[in-house]
Each structure stands twice: as C-alpha cells, then as structure tokens.
Amino acid sequence: MKFITDHLSSIHDVAIYPIISLSIFVTFFAVLGWWVIKADEKDINKMAELPLDK
C-alpha cells in the first residue's frame, strides 16, 4: 500500500482525477434519471418487449 501512496503522491495535481470521476458519475446518472422521467411509456414498453421478440 505504501508503494501506491508514494507513487500517487509523486503525480502532479493527482487530486483532480477523483473530482473528474465523480463529476462524470453524477452527470451520467442525472441524465439517465432525467431520461427515465421524460420517456414516453409506449417507448419504454417497446424496449421492454425487445428481448422477447424473435
């Protein structure tokens, strides 16, 4: 574990990576939540039946 912390501490501005990752994660789920709320019910039903179609 000491190797990892020593290696990461040598990287300049390493603290920005968790912020970027969290921003991408929050943005993705916010957009996904907005899409679920705004989606038309017949489109959702159509997509739900896709695995059953042959």
Tell whether 50 is covered by a domain. Answer: yes
The pLDDT assigned to 8 comes to: 73
Q: Which residue has the higher pLDDT, 27 or 52?
A: 27
Tell whether 52 is covered by a domain. Answer: yes
Tell whether 54 is covered by a domain. Answer: yes
Q: Distance between CA 40 and CA 20 in Å, rounded?
A: 32
| Alpha helices per DSSP H over 1-54 | 2-9, 16-38, 41-49
The pLDDT assigned to 34 comes to: 95
**Tens-digit pLDDT profile for residues 3-34:** 777 777 777 887 898 899 999 999 999 999 99
Tell whether 30 is covered by a domain. Answer: yes
The pLDDT assigned to 14 comes to: 79
Tell whether 38 is covered by a domain. Answer: yes
- Give SS3 for 12: coil
Tell whether 46 is covered by a domain. Answer: yes
What residues make up the domain containing 32?
A: 16-54
The pLDDT assigned to 9 comes to: 76
The model's pTM:
0.61
